[in-house]
Amino acid sequence: MDLPDIVQARVSTLEKQLSKCKRQLVRLYYSDECDRFEQFRDEVFIGILKDTCALVHEAELVRAPYLAELAKAADNILDDAIAYSHGRQSDSSGLEEALYDLMPSWAHDDAQNRPLVLDKDAAKFPLAHAALESLMQLPIFKCAWVQVVKINEMTTKAWDPALKRHPKSTKLAQFRTNSSLTRTTKRPLATRVLDARCEVSSSRCSVPIRFLTGPDGTFLALTGMRGVKNRSPHWILHSQSASCTLYLLPSERYYHEPRLADVASHDFARHPHLKSQNPYLDDTHGKSALLGSTVEARRLIFLGDDDCIKSYEWGSSTEVYEDLFPVHTLDTKHYQGPMMVLPDGSVVRAGKGMLAKIKSFDTRRHDPEKIEPSSGSAPTSHIKFFDHPSSNPAPGSPSSHLLQLSKTDPHLFLSACNDGFARLYDTRYSLPVVTFHARGQNEFCEAAALAHPNNIPRSYHTTVKAEQIKCGCSRSSVRLRIGNGNNAVRSLAWDASNNSLYAATKCSYVNSSGQNRKYRPARSLNNQQRQTEYETKTGNQTNTQAAAGLSTLGTRKTISVICLTVETIASVS
């Protein structure tokens, strides 16, 4: 149906305001009035985006019958503004650079029960803690005592054992000093998660890209890179047996090398303009990311590069094969976006302005050579995006590169976004329900996982330079941070059946040849030394965050999968 006249008038007003705002931004940009330009950008430009979201939210509250049409009109305004802010429009050529490297959040509204969950400590200092020691060694900081004091006030404080919420809380966890959370016996599992009462184990792996999990949780797969300069696609299967409650036992792990022609790379390699902002992302090899999807009932995994998708059977109902059994090859040369397997067994993959659907797998795989010459099965049908004919979805796009579905509540899903935010969505609403501030100032939200202990949603999200996992809930700021030593987290996965969080990590200070650079080893201190350092050296020029037993994870591991298993209810007195 058509929009009512009064609503259409408000939409037209927002469109005119956006066009006028663009022209004014160009004038201010070339007038060398930096302060006015930034103020106008942050107040007027972002204000238009907030007003657009508010218009949609008003229609949702009254269950307006024209909500779908209004959402499309608002989507056009938001897409136009986002493209302009990143310099992807022809009318933005008047600016020599994009408006934002990372846009602030504008889809939240605390007054309308769509909160922005902040990590106040992360916003104190926009520099990775690993580089802080080097910065403090500069002569200017040694001489300027006032500057040193100010920086120490902004940095993360030393680990304080008095802040442990429970005697069994892991030493890798750091809690906020003003935590208002209270324990309850009605929801014991949620309390154990917030108390970080967990066991930590780690195991080496290839350079990680992304975790893949099945809906039933019987296996966990990790796509990655290995070989010369990490150019070869690789994946690891962690299978769960009846006698094994952890995926990380060596006897339950299987390594495979899918025979794909394109070299493997991290998702961010698709966006060099974004990658250049983060020197800690050093996996620049190749042009294609290794994508994947799974069919748990058939023991199939689909892996793809920019040219094709290949399926492999990794086991039967009674065993896991030592070697992958090749099954199908699918031709997706013009579709390089994310993929998924539908309930009817067909495979869909996104491309520019359309989807390819492959339902008839008429090619059987024969792999006598490392690279199969067959082009594979052609798409059975094509689905066009009429509302977004130029849309080019990709796992590394600035909107979101990871979706984490909720097994407990099918209406919820969590996205990890390149703008530095993790967002919790409810499919019954157009706007994000909760926005988690994850970037700390200038970082991407690298990975996110959604957990539901005792039906309470919990978000685990992480960035690269922070080298820690943050736990947040929907109504309070980040209360818990779990350190990973010198390892940056690349992917997260939550195992609800075992109450375990899996983190695929990589050390940013070790290159593909195994050489160390700018390495920051952890200092393991005993309890007396740690307490003395906390009491007497709060103004010291060294960062003591790593002193809290981070060597437990083996901080010199270059690549590893870390498992944090929450203490079971039966084991607690």
| pLDDT band (50, 70, 90) for residue 396 | very low
Per-residue pLDDT averaged across 524-545, rounded?
43
Domain ranges of the chain: 5-100, 111-253+265-282+395-573, 290-391
Per-residue pLDDT averaged across 503-527, rounded?
69
Q: Residue 285: pLDDT above 80?
A: no
Instruction: Please give the pLDDT value at position 291.
Output: 60
Q: What share of the chain in percent tops pLDDT 90?
A: 12
| pLDDT band (50, 70, 90) for residue 454 | confident
Instruction: Please give the pLDDT value at position 106.
Output: 92
| pLDDT band (50, 70, 90) for residue 278 | very low
Residue type for position 538? T
Q: What share of the chain in percent tops pLDDT 70?
A: 61
Rounded-to-10 torsion of CA 555, 267, 291, 502:
30
pTM of model > 0.95:
no
Mean pLDDT over each residue of the chain, to the nearest integer: 72
Q: Do the strands 219-226 and 291-295 form a parallel or antiparallel pair, or are they unpaired?
A: unpaired
| pLDDT band (50, 70, 90) for residue 276 | very low
Q: Residue 554: pLDDT above 50?
A: no
Q: Report which of residues 515 and 353 the model is more confident about.
A: 353
d(CA 443, CA 428): 30
Q: What is the CA radius of gyration of the chain?
A: 25
Q: Report which of residues 174 and 460 the model is more confident about.
A: 460
The region of weakest confidence among 121-125, 254-258, 299-303, 563-567 is 121-125
The model's pLDDT over 186-196, given as tens digits with 9 standing for 90+, comes to: 778 878 887 88
| pLDDT band (50, 70, 90) for residue 407 | low
Q: Residue 175: pLDDT above 80?
A: no
Residue 36 has phi, psi (to 5 degrees) of -65, -40
3-state secondary structure 206-262: CEEEEEEECCCCCEEEEEEEECHHHCEEEEEEEECCCCCCCCCCHHHEEEECCCCCC
Q: Residue 547: pLDDT above 50?
A: no
Instruction: Please give the pLDDT value at position 42.
Output: 93
Instruction: Please give the pLDDT value at position 29.
Output: 87
Q: Residue 361: pLDDT above 70?
A: no
Instruction: Please give the pLDDT value at position 440.
Output: 61
> In angstroms, what CA-CA distances link 180 with 65, 183, 192, 194, 478?
42, 10, 16, 12, 11
Q: Residue 183: pLDDT above 70?
A: no
d(CA 242, CA 148): 56
Q: Report which of residues 47 and 554 the model is more confident about.
A: 47
Instruction: Please give the pLDDT value at position 5.
Output: 93
Rounded-to-10 torsion of CA 149, 486, 233, 328:
-90
The model's pLDDT over 3-51, given as tens digits with 9 standing for 90+, comes to: 999 999 999 999 999 999 999 998 898 887 888 999 999 999 999 999 9
Q: Report which of residues 487 and 57 the model is more confident about.
A: 57
Instruction: Please give the pLDDT value at position 272.
Output: 31
Q: Count other C-beta atoms under 10 Å from residue 219's C-beta.
A: 22
Q: Residue 228: pLDDT above 80?
A: no
Q: Report which of residues 520 and 70 the model is more confident about.
A: 70
| pLDDT band (50, 70, 90) for residue 123 | low
Q: Residue 69: pLDDT above 90?
A: yes
Q: Residue 247: pLDDT above 50?
A: no
Q: Report which of residues 401 and 375 the model is more confident about.
A: 375
The region of weakest confidence among 356-360, 394-398, 518-522 is 394-398
Q: Report which of residues 509 and 543 the model is more confident about.
A: 509
Q: What is the DSSP string of 480-520?
A: EEEE-TTEEEEEEEEETTTTEEEEEEEETTB-TTS-B-S--
Residue 140: Cβ-neighbour burial (10 angstroms; 0-12, 13-18, 19+): exposed
50-59, 240-249, 298-307, 376-385: which is most confident: 50-59
Per-residue pLDDT averaged across 282-295, rounded?
46
